[in-house]
Amino acid sequence: MKRLIWGVCAMLAGSLSAATLSGGWQVMPVEIDGATDLTKCLPENGEWKPGNFGGVCPQAPKAKKGNLMGGEYNCYFKTTLDVPAEDKGKSVYLQFGLNLCHAVVFVNGKEAGVAYCPDGGVEIAPFLNYGGANELKIFITNCGFGTGEKLTYTGRDDANPSFGQLGFNCWGTKRKALELKVQSANWVETAWVNPSWRKKELEVFALVHSLAGGSVKFGAQVTEDQGGAAVKSGETEAKLRKGVTKVKLVIPWQDPVCWELVPNAHLYRCGVSLAGGNVP
């Protein structure tokens, strides 16, 4: 069976920024106290204390003990986020590493969105005060409060040893508890390819985030795995909606060298890029 094997890299449109999570963290584990409405976060019925965002999620005194499948983990975290004025118009994105729990994000008292486990994120740019301090509050839950849906898990205990962790290692995957990413208004989160020997073409896909929507040039370039000049390339006009858009590019290819089960098999690498539409 003939196959084309690929490595895919996304050329992210990023930029340096002085934005920082600068205030230190305050932590408040909260009680369920009979609450059943999963569309609402639990009330702040605990006490704020200094802490960290990472490691094992704290539990309230009356919370059911156990790992994140059987126990009850509901906790607020808050800190100060400083964003310089020159970042206005850019994406300011919170990327999470969540082990069997979700995060509801509030910025300056307004709900910005929900980050779902394991690696969800939330765009917070529309909620920020630029050139000054912002209050960032995050509600962590494994019970579904604030998300509308209770989290379930049917996997094996021994496959995931880090229950209750914000930031974790599992099956060789390392995820930080929280990363602050400041980049262009339109940017690529991930990309992948679907080669077809029968159609003699390469389909290139990407998930593109956009603050306001609009049009960008979505391009792809194929090189030998070890580098060198491009062997194939293409570009298309991509219409983006506000939020996340799946974009697609088809590149005809009549004569690729196919992978075979032999030493030093032939490989290609495909990179994707954006141009225009608030992409530097």
The percent of the chain in helix, strand and coil, each rounded to the nearest 5, is 5, 50, 50
Structure confidence at residue 154 (pLDDT) = 58
Structure confidence at residue 259 (pLDDT) = 72
* H helix intervals, the chain: none
Could you tell me the pTM of the whole model? 0.84
CA-CA-CA-CA dihedral for 76, 183, 119, 61, to nearest 10: -10
Q: pLDDT per residue over 250-271, tens digit each?
A: 999 988 887 777 777 788 889 9
CA distances (Å), 98 to each of 101, 116, 151, 179, in order?
6, 8, 12, 12
The confidence band for 163, taking pLDDT boundaries of 50, 70 and 90, is low
Q: pLDDT per residue over 54-110, tens digit each?
A: 888 899 999 998 776 778 999 999 999 999 999 999 999 999 988 888 999 999 999
Q: How far apart are CA 75 and CA 82, in angstroms?
A: 23
Structure confidence at residue 174 (pLDDT) = 74
> Look-up: residue for tokens 């939020």?
243
Q: How far apart are CA 247 and CA 26, in angstroms?
A: 40
Residue 127 has pLDDT above 90, yes or no: yes
